[in-house]
Structure 1
Amino acid sequence: MRFVSGTSWAVACVFAIAALLSACSKENSYVPPPPPKVEVALPLKETVTPYLYATGNTTAVNSTPLVARVSGFIQEIDYKDGAAVKAGTRLFLIEPEPYELALEQAEAGQASSAASAKQSATEMKRQQDLLAQKVVSASSFDQASAAAAVDVAKQQQSAVDVKQAQLNLSYTEVKAPFDGIVTARQVSIGQLVGGADPTTLATIVQLDPIYVNFNVSEQDVLRVRADLAKRGLAMPDLTKTKVDVEVGLQTETGFPHKGTLDYAAPEVNASTGTLAVRAVFENAARMLLPGYFVRVRVPLLKEPDMLLVPDRAIGSDQSGRYVLVAGKDDVVEQRTVEIGQLVGNLRVIMSGIKEDDRVVISGLLTAVPGQKIEPQTKTLETAAADGAAQ
């Protein structure tokens, strides 16, 4: 058996290790990774309707307390609490008998004064004839004439008394002044009402149509003025021209309720910097109730050729909002942009990009400004017709 000397063994090990290290160095040489694959898309060009957004609250067009205008005992209550009633419907009856008697008394007085006026007129005519014949003195005729004038005045007064008695009798029937919902009654049958102080019997509220009040900022007022100028209108024309207003409740998607502008205050409130505005809405289904808090949207004049990108593609830093685009040689560039309203899931870009810019729409974490990417071109879908948010 042949043995290898210690020196030869050591030399052999050195050569083996050197060969192994040489092989490892070739395998571990650095190979740069390929550019990341990133989705890009051209901005979508569409005609967009700009909107003015606000918050408001609903109020009734009419809301009136029903007050007893004459004193007496409640004899009848002719409705159910919360019922819908038509204008002219009797709701309460105050004991009418005392007022019927007062009317009869006034009518009797009117008949008596009419008889007296007729008699005094006849006497004055007789005295006039006798004076012409120089049978009586002028003073006799003057007395007859004065008596006739007094009786005429009494006749006029009696006619007024009859009208007042008729009016008081009519007040015993408390009727709905307009179509609406009557609240729960505040009195009971047999209760004395209309004493020294007015007694509120109930309240009637009109729900159709209904108002929505909201405030517009001074900046938005200027936007509206510019929009009206494009239409050839001025601020005073707001209530003369049909200006659409849309509202939505907090639990609703979008702005399903459609109305029109009804009123705009003549001046901006200096303390708040806002303009008070009101819209009116048909409300036959009573979806809107007074006191609701609502979202308000006013469509302005449509803007053609607006550029839109996915809202998720917009980033922000200390300099403001920005998007990333694939520039020359597919190198990522950061562009500062001015954004507009949200239309569906797309955001209007007012300035900062052009229609041929390839905007990075996904893979934002791997797209680093100044580094190259492998663009994956996508096509943006048409924006939703109803922009739900600003």
Structure 2
Amino acid sequence: MPDSNLEHLPRPVHFGRPRGLGRLCGAFGVLLFLGACEEQNVYAPPPPPTVTVAQPLIQDVTEYLEFSGTTVAYARVEIPARVPGVLQAVHFEIGSEVLKGDLLFTIDPLEYEASVQAAEAELVRAQAVLSEAEKTLGRARTLIQRGNISQASLDEAEADYLSAEAEVLVREANLTSARIDLGYTQVTAPLSGRVGRNLVDVGNLVGQGSATVLTDITVYDPIHVYFEVNERDLLRAIERIRSEMGEGGSTRDQANFPIEVGLTTEEGYPHIGVTDFTESQVDPDTGTLQVRGVLQNPGEQPALLPGLFARVRVPIAQRAEMPLVSENAVGFDQSGRYLLVVNDEGIVEKRGVTLGQLVDGLRVIERGIDPGDRVVVTGVQRAREGIAVQAQEIDMSSLLLSAHGGSASEGGRRGDGQRAAGDGAAPDAAND
């Protein structure tokens, strides 16, 4: 019988082939393979980013000051009933064009015709009395020479004549007044323009106690636009104008300078006019100077109506050979506005710039770049100062055309000195 203590003895160790040896060799082989692969991989830097560059478009530009204004009718007059009476007829179509002197309303004239007749009769009677007084005075002068009447009788005859003569003048004035009142029963247009609606219907009593407004007439052509010029822009404009006129210029030479006007729904500034009035001093409460312009506004359906908001710009200087770039190329950081430029070695450089106004969708660069610089216009997010890039060149004028939807042939026909037609801001406003 085996001894039970033998169960506690250690088991014999077998020195045969381990079971996991194959797995260990396989893993070791994989490590050797991976190590061999890593030795063959060499780091290759990514290719330089591709950006689009263009040289600035060089052209003459006009410097503008821009304002907000309001259109106001050239003239507006209310047509009252100047005599009391019953409105008898309306002789116009609402909203139609009328000429000066056209008949608009008729007030019942019967009462005034009777007044004219009565005044005429009173005048005839006064003239008859005057004729009799004249004859009496003539006889008295003859008799006084013969000594048949006294001086008192002659004086009385002269007084009667003068009184009769004065009475004739009074009756003539009464007749004139009656005829004027009769004329007021025919209400006519005091000026040419567009008539409004009739504010009183036929059959109503008008002009009783106070003048009753019957309608109004508004003159649309020409039309005024009022705008406020702040002190800074005013001084800048005066400085530019004086520099162009020289020392011999006067303030009179600054009157009637051109303005361009556009409505909120219009592109650019299609309406051209001139200033015709400027306040004599700057308002100390607002720091602005009110200016009025006048513009032609023809047609039965004029483009400009009174009371509309208007964009106004005033040319103050002509600047030659200014660089223009796409506004998408302009960046901004804590140092201000800048452009990214690719140099001859393909390295990106950062240029701080001063911006001017918009011209046909391109931004005028006051200073900071040269005409030959290659400005990054697309891919600005991929370009950073100091890195190398692959530059693809385009023509800056193509960006100008794309802003207006024009063709390349149209771009080729654009000449220097073309005025800004976009909704640009004043140079200082762009730099804020």
Q: TM-score, normalised by structure 1?
A: 0.89
State the distance in 2 between where 1:135 and 1:62 align. 71
State the distance in 2 between where 1:374 and 1:66 align. 74
Q: Identify the match of residue 340 of structure 2 among 324, 348, 358.
A: 324
Aligned to 1:28: 41
Give 1:142-181 correspondences, 5 Å limit.
Answer: 142-181=155-194
SS at match of 2:303: coil
Contact between 1:40 and 1:362, CA under 8 Å: does it hold in 2?
Answer: yes
Aligned to 2:76: 63
Select between 315-324 and 252-261 the one with higher mean Cα deviation.
252-261
Aligned to 2:307: 291
Amino acid across the alignment from 1:324? L
State the distance in 2 between where 1:189 and 1:33 align. 88
Q: Residue 121 and residue 238 in structure 1: after superposition, are their counterparts in 2 closer, same or farther (change >3 A)? A: farther
Aligned to 2:322: 306
Aligned to 2:428: none
Amino acid across the alignment from 1:78? H
Please state how far the C-alpha of 1:265 moved relative to its aligned partner.
1.6
Q: Identify the match of residue 223 of structure 1 among 225, 229, 236.
A: 236
Q: Identify the match of residue 265 of structure 1 among 246, 263, 279.
A: 279
Describe the superposition over 1:292-320 as per-residue Cα deviations: whole angstroms up to 9, x where unpaired.
22222223332111111111000112222
Please state how far the C-alpha of 1:141 moved relative to its aligned partner.
2.0
Contact between 1:238 and 1:261, CA under 8 Å: does it hold in 2?
Answer: no
Structure 1: gaps (5+ residues): none
State the distance in 1 between where 2:303 and 2:223 align. 10
Please state how far the C-alpha of 1:377 moved relative to its aligned partner.
2.9
Aligned to 1:191: 204
Please state how far the C-alpha of 1:74 moved relative to its aligned partner.
1.0
Aligned to 2:133: 120
Aligned to 1:362: 378
Q: Identify the match of residue 359 of structure 2 among 343, 357, 362.
A: 343
Select between 125-134 and 96-105 the one with higher mean Cα deviation.
125-134
State the distance in 2 between where 1:95 and 1:15 align. 123
Contact between 1:53 and 1:297, CA under 8 Å: does it hold in 2?
Answer: yes
State the distance in 1 between where 2:23 and 2:169 align. 147
Describe the superposition over 1:346-372 as per-residue Cα deviations: whole angstroms up to 9, x where unpaired.
100112222232221121111111222
Describe the superposition over 1:56-113 as per-residue Cα deviations: whole angstroms up to 9, x where unpaired.
2222112112111000111111122222222111111001111111111112222222
SS at match of 1:117: helix
Aligned to 1:140: 153
Q: Residue 135 and residue 209 in structure 1: after superposition, are their counterparts in 2 closer, same or farther (change >3 A)? A: same
Amino acid across the alignment from 2:91? D
- Could you say which structure has the larger radius of gyration? 2
Aligned to 1:315: 331
Give 1:38-57 correspondences, 5 Å limit.
Answer: 38-57=51-70
Contact between 1:54 and 1:214, CA under 8 Å: does it hold in 2?
Answer: yes
Amino acid across the alignment from 1:217? N
Q: Identify the match of residue 277 of structure 1 among 291, 295, 299.
A: 291
Amino acid across the alignment from 1:38? V
Please state how far the C-alpha of 1:19 moved relative to its aligned partner.
5.1
Please state how far the C-alpha of 1:199 moved relative to its aligned partner.
1.0
Q: Kindly tell me the number of residue pairs found equivalent between the two proteins.
A: 385
Aligned to 1:352: 368
Contact between 2:269 and 2:421, CA under 8 Å: does it hold in 1?
Answer: no
State the distance in 2 between where 1:237 and 1:141 align. 72
Q: Residue 10 and residue 88 in structure 1: after superposition, are their counterparts in 2 closer, same or farther (change >3 A)? A: closer
Aligned to 1:387: 421
Contact between 1:225 and 1:234, CA under 8 Å: does it hold in 2?
Answer: no
Contact between 1:75 and 1:93, CA under 8 Å: does it hold in 2?
Answer: yes
State the distance in 1 between where 2:55 and 2:210 align. 74
SS at match of 1:207: strand
State the distance in 2 between where 1:68 and 1:10 align. 118
Aligned to 1:248: 262
When the two chains are superposed, the root-mean-square deviation of aligned CA atoms in Å is 2.7
State the distance in 1 between where 2:327 and 2:268 align. 18
Please state how far the C-alpha of 1:29 moved relative to its aligned partner.
2.9
Amino acid across the alignment from 1:115? A
What is the identity percentage for the equivalent residue pairs of Structure 1 and Structure 2?
A: 37
State the distance in 1 between where 2:317 and 2:340 align. 30
Select between 369-378 and 44-53 the one with higher mean Cα deviation.
369-378
Q: Residue 337 and residue 116 in structure 1: after superposition, are their counterparts in 2 closer, same or farther (change >3 A)? A: same
Select between 306-315 and 344-353 the one with higher mean Cα deviation.
344-353
Contact between 2:348 and 2:388, CA under 8 Å: does it hold in 1?
Answer: yes
Amino acid across the alignment from 2:261? V
State the distance in 1 between where 2:239 and 2:175 align. 61
Contact between 2:100 and 2:190, CA under 8 Å: does it hold in 1?
Answer: yes
State the distance in 2 between where 1:351 and 1:270 align. 35
Select between 135-144 and 88-97 the one with higher mean Cα deviation.
135-144
